Structure 1
Amino acid sequence: MQITCRGEILILNKERAIYWPAQEMLIISDLHIGKPAHFRKHGIQVPSTIGDQDLTRLKGLTEQYHPKTLLITGDLFHHQLNSDITVFSQWRAEFTDLKFLLIKGNHDRLLTKDYKDLGIEVYEKELTCWPFRFIHDRPKAEDEYYTISGHIHPGVTIYGKARQRLSLPCFYFGTSYAVLPAFSAFTGLSRIKPEEGDRFYAITPSHIVEV
């Protein structure tokens, strides 16, 4: 789905990503690489294929849009180095020409050397690229920039005629900030209390629908 935000065209993709054509930039949040391995280390059996599927989806997006830059608004990694991150390193080697930017999230705990070895340019707090500010969790104060963040894994509930209800990940666009859905399929959902003028774009298996 194509929308306009602060005069810029943004393409919302059902694979939980935004493509910004003017900057040739693919934007995602909360990939949480290493989360399945972190759970397995603590005795919770989570299939390793979950992380593989996320990287396969991300590869498909890079091949679809051919971006010059991939921007992650926090929580690229879930914890410290583990076997899942080794798989990501192999994936990263396929896209050596892709500029890789990370705004650090609360789960991004690798060493500076680790990010450098993976070819990732790190921003400790935020990145501004007019008219947007990219940050992991939205700031409390507002200014002339429109903030795009992640962190809370937004979702929306759709109600049917026979009391059915379905919770879906979504893109949220408010008057001063937007929240990206978590890219990883291995995450929960948090509801955002709507305010006047808010836009919600629910992600279904086949397409995106404004609700």
Structure 2
Amino acid sequence: MLSVNIAGEPAELLPERALWLPQRRRLLIADPHFGKAGVFRRHGIPLPSGTTEDDLNRLGELIARFRPEQLVILGDFFHARPEVDEPWLDLFARWRRCHGELPITVIVGNHDRHAGAPDPGWNLVWSAAEQRLGPFVLAHEPMQVPGAHVLAGHLHPVLRLRGRTDRLRLPVFWVRSGCTVLPSFGSFTGGHPVKPAAGDRVYAVGPGAVVDCTGARV
């Protein structure tokens, strides 16, 4: 993990593509898009199963490690409205029972609005509005809020790095003036290349590490 300062508070950027706020005891992720591979399989596109299970296992390990007081999902919990017999629904229900004491808030994203509300038995706080947390505003889409620093998702930011002969495409935490955009937590999601402006900071996620790539050749 990489320790940084955001809006005057310490923050840990995690290679699992999550953000830990130690003073607030909050674990944040964005854009898991649970069930996305299943949506593609429903449309006849052969894709391997297990991506949601892998993501939930990764999330469970983070919860065991940091013991947060709250998990906040910054939108796009769902990828699309699920069918009643999709296997990942039972998988998530079992996972939720294992973490039944943990409060989980979902800031509703654009995919969630089309998918509809979750199963009430999952005990999720389903918030259609942004949430305030100290100096932060927790949102799905990046925005500017006077007097606050927005923590958001939605963009799935990635950075294309160039060397003399090679190129890399890595998910990043994109820290801008007044707004930080988290990388997509979901294993099976695309990415949107970003072009950092002067003064922006970008932190690339690699295997087991987060690296400051501010000023790197892109």
Quote how far apart the aligned CAs of 1:198 are. 0.4
Equivalent in 127, 150, 154 of residue 153 of structure 2: 150
Q: Which AA in structure 1 matches 2:151?
A: I
* TM-score, normalised with respect to structure 1: 0.94
How many angstroms apart in 2 are the aligned matches of 1:156 and 1:125? 29
Preserved CA contact (<8 Å) 1:115 1:122: no
Q: Which amino acid aligns with 2:140?
A: H
Query: Considering only aligned residues, what root-mean-square deviation do their CA atoms show, in Å?
Result: 1.3
In 2, Cα distance between the equivalents of 1:123 and 1:22?
Answer: 23
Superposition map of 1:108-119 within 5 A: 108=112, 109-112=114-117, 114-119=118-123
2:106 equivalent to 1:105:
no
The secondary structure found in structure 1 opposite 2:111 is coil
Q: Does 1:12 align with 2:13?
A: yes
Q: For residues 123-146 of structure 1, give each alpha carbon's deviation from its aligned partner in whole angstroms, at most 9, with x where no partner exists.
A: 10211112011111123x531111
CA contact (8 A) 1:102 1:120 kept: yes
Aligned residues: 208
CA contact (8 A) 2:75 2:108 kept: yes
**1:199 is aligned with what amino acid?**
R
SS where residue 11 of structure 1 aligns?
Answer: strand
The two structures have a TM-score, normalised by structure 2, of 0.91
The separation in 1 between residues aligned to 2:145 and 2:108, in whole angstroms, is 20
Distance in 1 separating the partners of 2:30 and 2:126: 14
Secondary structure class of the residue paired with 1:93: helix
Flag as ranges the 4+ runs of structure 1 deviating above 3 A. 109-112
| Alignment-derived partner of residue 211 in structure 2 | 209
Matched residue, 1:127: 131
Residues 151, 182 of structure 2: 8 Å contact kept: yes
* Counterpart residue identity of residue 173, structure 1: V
- Equivalent residue number for residue 39 of structure 2: 38
C-alpha distance in 1, partners of 2:12/2:162? 26
Deviation at 1:106, TM superposition (A): 1.0
Per-residue CA distance 1:32-89 (angstroms, 9 max, x = gap)? 1111111111111121211111111111111110111000000011112332222111
| Letter matched to residue 3 of structure 2 | Q
**1:69 maps to what in 2?**
70
Counterpart-to-counterpart distance in 1, 2:33 and 2:132: 23
Alpha-carbon distance in structure 2 between the residues aligned to 1:193 and 1:71: 27
Matched, 1:183 2:190: no
Contact 1:115–1:121 (8 Å) recurs in 2 = no
Residue range with higher mean Cα deviation, 22-31 or 75-84: 75-84
- Separation (CA, whole Å) in 1 of partners of 2:89 and 2:32: 11
* Deviation (angstroms), 1:3: 0.5
Q: Is the 8 A contact 1:33 1:88 kept in 2?
A: no
**Whole-Å separation in 1 of the counterparts to 2:97 and 2:71:** 14
Q: For residues 74-114 of structure 1, give each alpha carbon's deviation from its aligned partner in whole angstroms, at most 9, with x where no partner exists.
A: 001111233222211111110011000000011114544x3
